[in-house]
Amino acid sequence: MKRKPIPQSYTSDTGIAYYWHYTPGSKNTPPRAELSIDAPLPFEFRLDHESKPQKIAKWLGFATEFQTGDPAFDGKVYIDSDDPRFCENLSHIQGLRKAVLDLFGHNIKTLSLSGGRLCAEIAKPTMHLSVTDLDRMLDDMVQFKRQMQATASPDQVPFKSMKRQLSQQFKLFFLGSLIAGGAAFIYDGFMQGYTIVPQMQLLAMSLKIWLAAMLGLLILVGIIFHRSSYGCDALGYLFSTGLIGIMLCSYGALYNINIHCDASPARIFTEPVVDRYVTHGRRGSTHYHVSVVDWHGNGTYSMSTGSAIYYAAVPRRTNMRFYTHSGHLGFEWIQLYEVLSK
């Protein structure tokens, strides 16, 4: 089970109250550390080191980033915010830009403000920061907070970006597609036990649906986020989780529609076993295969089986009987097969 960060509050030697969140790494995830201070400010933003994917997304028109007019700042920092007041402050106040660049020079990966908390994600996380690094980061964060407080009016309403909320909905949608597609793939392949005979044709149709869905989603992301900096987030979610999830969903949908909506009668074929062989996976797994004469008259048909069928199917001494259906979508599938002695 993935361990969640436990927020812990501390006070520095200089009297600054702060929070430290550390999540140890696991086999598939790197460690994560976050330093934060209370900052009840009516702004919303995230600042990152500008990456190549973000530059590509802007160049392709999937995102629009606010530019401060300071080349030294704009070339290094990606402003992930649609808050016009924050962007205006960042453009007009040089001290804010300097504070951000100073923080990024102190091993900071991301600086964000949301929910009344100013957070700095550490680029190279460790369980504890040195006293020198901690005091330096906190001083710069407090300086940044004070400059932001000076620009906020007492009656200013906190900014909430609709595009940011939409990007989070995209994230949930793509994550859901990955979970649903993965569950369908496991259920189809390991629990139902049915075999699609023209497997490559089913994969080809799944690929066409996947390409159409990806193209449609890319167009949708471009239409919704082309004037927002959050387009990079939506595009990242699409390619990190949606890419695989949509492919699995398209395959699972075709597989289940073809089988469970099929009302065709069973056809019975009895063919001799001509060969059997074993393959091994990278992690030491063993896979059993049996080849029979193809009942369509196209040479031989090979299929993956369990070990019991493999050892019972002796070449030239046994036959196999297949119960097949034509399939609702035209993909023939095997409902049942058994080994018969000659």
Report pLDDT for 269.
Answer: 93
At 7, is the pLDDT very low, low, confident or very high (cuts 50, 70, 90)? low
pLDDT for position 270: 93
pTM of the model: 0.74
205 pLDDT higher than 90: yes
pLDDT of residue 342: 62
Is 315 a residue whose pLDDT tops 90?
no
Complete domains list, the chain, with CATH: 8-151 (no CATH), 162-260 (no CATH), 267-341 (2.40.50)
Is the pLDDT at 283 greater than 80? The verdict is no
146: enclosing H helix or E strand:
helix 131-151
Band (pLDDT 50/70/90 cuts) for residue 188 is: low
Compare 27 and 290 and report the one with higher pLDDT.
290
Predicted local confidence at residue 323, as pLDDT: 93
Higher pLDDT, 325 or 25: 325
- Of the two residues 131 and 5, the one the predictor is more confident about is 131
Low-confidence winner among 26-35, 186-195, 244-253, 254-263 (lowest mean pLDDT)? 186-195
CA distance 34 to 91: 26
Predicted confidence (pLDDT) at residue 6 exceeds the cutoff of 60? no
Report the chain's mean pLDDT, rounded to a whole number.
86
Instruction: Quickly list DSSP for 159-216.
Output: P--HHHHHHHHHHHHHHHHHHHHHHHHHIIIIII--EESSHHHHHHHHHHHHHHHHHH
Q: Specify the DSSP element, H or E, that contains 92.
A: helix 84-92
What is the share, in percent, of the chain residues with pLDDT greater than 70? 96
| CB-based contacts of 260-263 (< 8 A; 24+ apart in sequence) | 260/328, 261/328, 262/325, 262/326, 262/327, 262/328, 262/333, 263/328
Spell out the long-range contacts of 100-109 with Cβ–Cβ below 8 A and sequence spacing 24 or more: 100/47, 100/73, 100/144, 101/72, 101/73, 101/76, 101/77, 102/140, 103/137, 103/140, 103/141, 103/144, 104/49, 104/76, 104/77, 106/133, 106/136, 106/137, 106/140, 107/133, 108/137, 109/48, 109/49
Percent of the chain scoring above 90 in pLDDT: 22
Question: How confident is the model at residue 204, as a pLDDT?
Answer: 93
Q: In 3-state terms, what secondary structure has residue 3?
A: coil
Q: Which of 142-156, 221-235, 321-335 has the lowest mean pLDDT?
A: 142-156
pLDDT band at 327 (very low <50, low <70, confident <90, very high): very high
Q: How far apart are CA 333 and CA 255, in angstroms?
A: 10
Residue with the bigger pLDDT between 146 and 282: it is 146
Question: Mean pLDDT over residues 222-233, rounded?
Answer: 87
pLDDT at 2: 43
More confident residue, 170 or 160: 170
Determine the pLDDT at residue 1: 38
